[in-house]
Amino acid sequence: MSLYQICFWVLTVMALGCALGVILSRNPVSSVLFLIATFFAISGHYLLMNAQFLAIVNIIVYAGAIMVLFLFVIMLMNLNADTEPQKNRLVQLAGVVSGGILFLVILAALRSSSVNVLEQTPTDIGLIKNLGKTLFTQFVLPFEISSVLFLSAMIGAVVIGKKEEVA
């Protein structure tokens, strides 16, 4: 095994293990922390593919900003195991059945499709210069449209968050 493969397997185990931890842990705060660890593992995978910019942006945006806000909300709501609403058996059964069906559908879809094997050799496309050139020439329209989408989401949040005027 080369160093590359060792890193790959360690990161993969870490990503999957932490992702499982997100859904299996009872305490919402530790769920969030597992999710942050998952993001780190994914950033590690980006690094292995020589996509340094994506790796660090993933950490800054997701781990550094979005998850802080998540943690924020969860801490303020102060969720504990005691206050968690107890679900009855029927709801649990329905959850298992619908989850299982979704799993089957995904499995069937994966079986019938041909999976493209990603290139193993690291390329330079993930470096910031190449990435910027590609984004602002080849993909400039989708890039700008998605930024408009974010702007509209932001304005929407402000509108919803604003106190209603007393009529």
Q: Could you list the residues that contact other proteins (CB under 8 A)?
A: 1-3, 29, 33, 36, 52-53, 56-57, 59-60, 63-65, 68-69, 71-72, 75-76, 127-128
Helix axes 67-77, 28-48, angle to 10 degrees: 170
Least separation in angstroms between CB 138 and other proteins? 21
Q: Do 15 and 38 touch, CB atoms closer than 8 A? A: yes
CB nearer to other proteins: give 95 or 122: 122
Least separation in angstroms between CB 76 and other proteins? 7
Radius of gyration in angstroms for the set of CA atoms belonging to the chain, rounded to a whole number: 21
Instruction: Give the distance from CA 121 to its chain's centroid.
Output: 25
CB nearer to other proteins: give 10 or 128: 128
Least separation in angstroms between CB 103 and other proteins? 32
- Whole-number Å distance between alpha carbons of 44 and 67: 18
CB nearer to other proteins: give 128 or 149: 128
Q: Helix or strand or coil: residue 129? A: helix
